[in-house]
Amino acid sequence: MLSRKATCKSHGEDSSYFLGWQEYEKNPYDPVRNPSGIIQLGLAENQLSFDLLESWIARNQEPTGFMKKEGSIFRELALFQDYRGMPVFKKELAEYMAAIRQDKVRFDPNNIVLTAGATSANEALMFCLAEAGEAFLVPTPYYPGFDRDLKWRTGVEIVPIQSSSMNNFRIFPSALEEAYQHAQKLHLKVKGLFITNPSNPLGTTLSIHELDHLINFAIDKNIHIVSDEIYSGTVFDSPRFISIMEAVKKKNLENTAIWSRVHIVSSLSKDFGLPGFRIGMIYSNSKTLIAAATKMSSFGLVSSQSQFLLSRILGDKKFTRNYIMENRNRLKSRRKTLVSGLNKNGIRCLENNAGLFCWIDMRCLLTSYTFAELGLWRRIIFKYGLNMSPGSSFHCPEPGWFRVCFSNMSEETLDLAVRRIKALMDSSAPNAC
């Protein structure tokens, strides 16, 4: 009765990533009402800087109430459904994006397509760049949502680019070539590379060398590069963030074909902690792509009400500059809390300078428990009340790594989580880690 898309499992919700959330929903930790409940460490949300936004809104009641100096703009907003997006909002967004990238790149507002979140942007790009049955190469480990966002309705395939903990999961030319050859063996035409920078789940930014490798590879194979940069505003430590655009510019390739084959995805969900407002975007230098993606965005436009509010917030440059800085400091400090807690208990974390999470090494526990990773994951949820996301759900080639989020809870809750991890480590074989 229903379509093949409706009846298949490509929605990806059977992944342990989402199953962990479900377990959390059944028994969620609450300091007062359910102190023995499961602590959610699997949700990459930024809740650290709401107070800054709240006080801005309290000081600027007008934009939220549709009033400007000239009177109510409610009518104008209510009717505004132009898929090219609100010009003033796109202008502010372009300037904000440049600011996060230390103004090393300039963004043209006309090259921005607004979409209902990065989820929508990623899918739209796949529809525009590939046919069903074609493939994109994606470095592992990668965000589980891509299995749905890039593949489900588009019919596009993901071919993983392997990585190893031995070199901190960095991307090497040999791995790129291997993935490409693998795709050929599977008779899949490769249309592009899909990278996430800063990385989810690693929380690291790509080095200029890695970016170089990727660009050279894309030129050589005549394919696209999609760079999902939604965590670009969460870079809290050195090395500084280098956007794919900056890397291409640095190589003096602005007037060459590759310039039109590099596309950025971003959103305000991670930097500003506003996932509910559904504000995402595609940025590209290809006018052809912009034209196609703009039309496609009809299926997922951004509410004019939200475009207006954000154009006012981002337009307050002083506030935004201060927000970016303060947010980074808080993220850095949170990470430190988590990492020192983990280190004290013998758990190593991948060194990371960005993101809302840490990538932690629990391989030692695999040995001591002789459990496969999912067995360990289940034990951690049910016995120790912690939902951390297992590496296998991110298609990590090595078992034993977990992603632990640190910005979606209070400091007290994070401390409790660390105490529970201590309990977990204490009960494992001595010197296991």
Partner 1 sequence: MGIEIEHPTVVLSKVAVSKTHGEESPYFAGWKAYDKDPYDEFCNPSGIIQMGLAENQVSIDLLEEYLEKHAEATDNGIRTSEFRENALFQDYHGLQSFRNALAGFMEQIRGGRAKFNPDRIVITAGATAANELLTFILADPGDALLIPTPYYPGSEHRAGPLRQSNDFDITPEALEAAYREAESKNIKVRGMLITNPSNPLGITIKRSTLEDILDFVTRKNIHLVSDEIFSGSAFSSEDFVSVAEIVEARNYEDSERVHIVYSLSKDLGLPGFRVGAIYSYNDKVVTTARRMSSFTLISSQTQHLLALMLSDKSFTGNYIKTNRRRLKKRYQMIVDGLKKVGIKCLKGNAGLFCWVNMSSFLEEPTKEQELALWKLIVHEVKLNISPGSSCHCSEPGWFRVCFANMSEETLEVALRRMHAFMKRRY
Give the residue numbers marked as catalytic: 143, 228, 230, 270
The string over 67-103, giving b where at least 16 C-beta atoms fall within 10 Å of a residue's C-beta and e elsewhere, is eeeeeebeeebeebeebebbeebbbbbbbbbeebbee
Q: Is 80 or 172 the residue whose CB approaches partner 1 more closely?
A: 80
Smallest gap from residue 137 Cβ to partner 1 (A): 17
Residue 114's DSSP bridge partners are: 281
Give the CA radius of gyration of the chain.
22
Smallest gap from residue 426 Cβ to partner 1 (A): 34
Smallest gap from residue 157 Cβ to partner 1 (A): 14
Exposed/middle/buried for residue 315 (C-beta within 10 Å: 0-12, 13-18, 19+): middle
Smallest gap from residue 212 Cβ to partner 1 (A): 10
In angstroms, the CA 232 to CA 267 distance is: 10
Q: Is 233 or 400 the residue whose CB approaches partner 1 more closely?
A: 233
Q: Is 238 or 298 the residue whose CB approaches partner 1 more closely?
A: 298
In angstroms, the CA 97 to CA 280 distance is: 12
Tokens 């496609």, located at residue: 296
Q: What is the DSSP string of 141-183?
A: S--TTHHHHTTTTT--EEEEEP--GGGTT---HHHHHHHHHHH
Smallest gap from residue 75 Cβ to partner 1 (A): 5
Q: Is 161 or 293 the residue whose CB approaches partner 1 more closely?
A: 293
Q: Is 74 or 382 the residue whose CB approaches partner 1 more closely?
A: 74
